[in-house]
Structure 1
Amino acid sequence: MPRSQKVFIGILSFLPLVAAAIFLIYFLANIFPEIIRMEHEHGDVPPEFFFGNMMGFIASIIILAFVQLGLMIYFIIHAINNKRVKNEERIIWVLLFIFVSTIAYPIYWGIRIWPEEKPESNFVKM
């Protein structure tokens, strides 16, 4: 695999983790105080006003969900087809991708994709 492709996959593998942190900070800094302010001033918040202000936030989460799904498919296929991964380890990686994918993607990328493959030795193995 070319180094540029490894870097691109690495960026994508860290994207859900970074985006989750950005979304949390954005929510806590902008949306949450606005909800509290509207409840104190107006009482009940009308749904159209609430969702109208959050459309960009919701759209970006939907896009991230599709990226996350694509990454899950890619990493599961890569782990299954990777000859350097033992059968027992494949099962563990697939389960990690399914249940804790945001954390498992960067770890798998750092362990199994980023390092260069070591060339075979010229010595005869006995």
Structure 2
Amino acid sequence: MSRSKKIFIGILAFLPIISTAVLIIYMLISFLPEMLRLESEYHGNIPPEAFFFNMTGFIISAVVLGLIHLGLMVFFIIHAINNNQVKTEERIIWVLLFIFVNSIAFPIYWGLRIWPKEKTDSNFIRM
């Protein structure tokens, strides 16, 4: 695998953690003050159209990032299963980690199994 492809996969591996942090910050900075303003303006009876109009960007970005996250999970599971350098027992562990703690497991797998240079075979013959 080329170095540029490994770097691209590494960026994608860290994307779920970074995107979650960005969505939380976005919600706290722009969405929460707007909801407080609507709360005071409508005295607790916020109409649904005002509520969903302010949430449209958040919902769209969360859905897109969720689909990217699902695609990454499928990619990493397939990569772990097809990786010849990973033992059978370790493959099972990686698949379970990808299913249950995927956002944390993606960068760890990338750092341990994708980023290091592949070891070349020795030219010496063992006797």
TM-score normalised by length of structure 2: 0.92
Q: Which position in structure 1 is the counterpart of 2:126? A: 125
Deviation at 1:41, TM superposition (A): 3.0
Could you tell me which residue of structure 2 aligns to residue 39 of structure 1?
39
Aligned-pair CA distance for 1:122: 2.2
For 1:1-126, what aligned pairs fall within 5 Å after superposition? 1-42=1-42, 43-126=44-127
Which amino acid in 1 is paired with 2:115? W
- The separation in 2 between residues aligned to 1:60 and 1:41, in whole angstroms, is 27
User: What SS does structure 1 have at the residue aligned with 2:34?
Assistant: helix
The aligned amino acid for 1:16 is P
Q: CA deviation at 1:36?
A: 2.3
- Per the TM alignment, residue 7 of structure 1 is displaced from its structure 2 partner at its CA by 1.1
Separation of aligned partners in 2, 1:106 and 1:80: 17
- Distance in structure 2 (CA, Å) of the matches to 1:106 and 1:59: 25
Give the number of equivalent residue pairs: 126
The CA distance in 1 between the partners of 2:124 and 2:30, in whole Å, is 63
Structure 1 portions without partners, runs of 5+: none
- RMSD of aligned residue pairs (Cα, Å): 1.2
- 1:3: how far off? 1.1
In the aligned structure 1, how far is the partner of 2:32 from the partner of 2:126? 64
Determine the C-alpha separation between the residues in 2 that align with 1:23 and 1:16: 10
Q: Percent same amino acid at aligned positions?
A: 62
Provide the C-alpha distance between the structure 1 equivalents of 2:98 and 2:117, rounded to a whole number of angstroms. Answer: 22
Deviation at 1:124, TM superposition (A): 2.7
The TM-score normalised by the length of structure 1 is: 0.93
Distance in 1 of aligned mates of 2:16 and 2:5: 18
For 2:123 and 2:15, the matched residues in 1 are separated by 40
Provide the rounded CA distance (Å) in 2 between the counterparts of 1:37 and 1:7.
43
Query: What is the CA deviation profile of residues 18-71 of structure 1, one whole-angstrom value per residue up to 9, with x for unaligned ones?
Result: 110000011111112222232233122111111111111111111111111111
Deviation at 1:112, TM superposition (A): 0.4
Q: Give 1:86 deviation, angstroms.
A: 0.9
